[in-house]
Amino acid sequence: YDREEHTLRELRIFLRDMCKKLASNKLFFMFTKPVDTEEVPDYPTIIKQPMDLETMMTKVDFHRYECAKDFLNDIELICQNALEYNPARTSADKQIRHRACSLRDYAYTLIKTEMDTDFEEKCQEISKKR
């Protein structure tokens, strides 16, 4: 079967495992589902591009990521959204911002240590010419 499709399938398997590991870490429970706009009606007025780990798992299945960099861009989005919507010096907001930074650092390190550099380069080459 076409070599490029085989490479992208292997990427999806890897990214599902990354998503699962991040979503199963109790520290990151607040990032696992979309922010409830019924509960938080002003959220969509402040955050224009919401993102969460469940949505990212769906994006993997819909072939929306062609390399790990694209996946990490959405992790960065989760982090930035949390920092922007929860800026106060209250302990609740501080904890959310600390968790957001932990999610970002943990995801980068997990991918950096578990992913073959050549494999990611191959994915980015495929992505560039599509």
Ligand X SMILES: O=C(C1CCC1)N1C[C@@H]2C[C@H]3C[C@@H](O)[C@@H](O)[C@]2(C1)O3
Q: Which residues in this chain contact ligand X in the complex, by CB under 6 A? A: 30-31, 35, 39-40, 43, 82, 85-86, 96
> Least distance from C-beta 68 to ligand X, angstroms?
23
Q: Which is nearer to ligand X, 11 or 51 (CB)?
A: 51
Q: Which is nearer to ligand X, 14 or 85 (CB)?
A: 85
> Least distance from C-beta 30 to ligand X, angstroms?
4
Q: Which is nearer to ligand X, 89 or 129 (CB)?
A: 89
Classify residue 108 as exposed, middle or buried by CB count within 10 Å of its CB (0-12, 13-18, 19+): middle
> Least distance from C-beta 82 to ligand X, angstroms?
4
For 62, what's the count of Cα atoms within 13 Å in the CB-facing half-sphere? Answer: 8
> 85-92: long-range contacts (C-beta < 8 A, 24 or more apart)?
85/35, 85/43, 85/46, 85/47
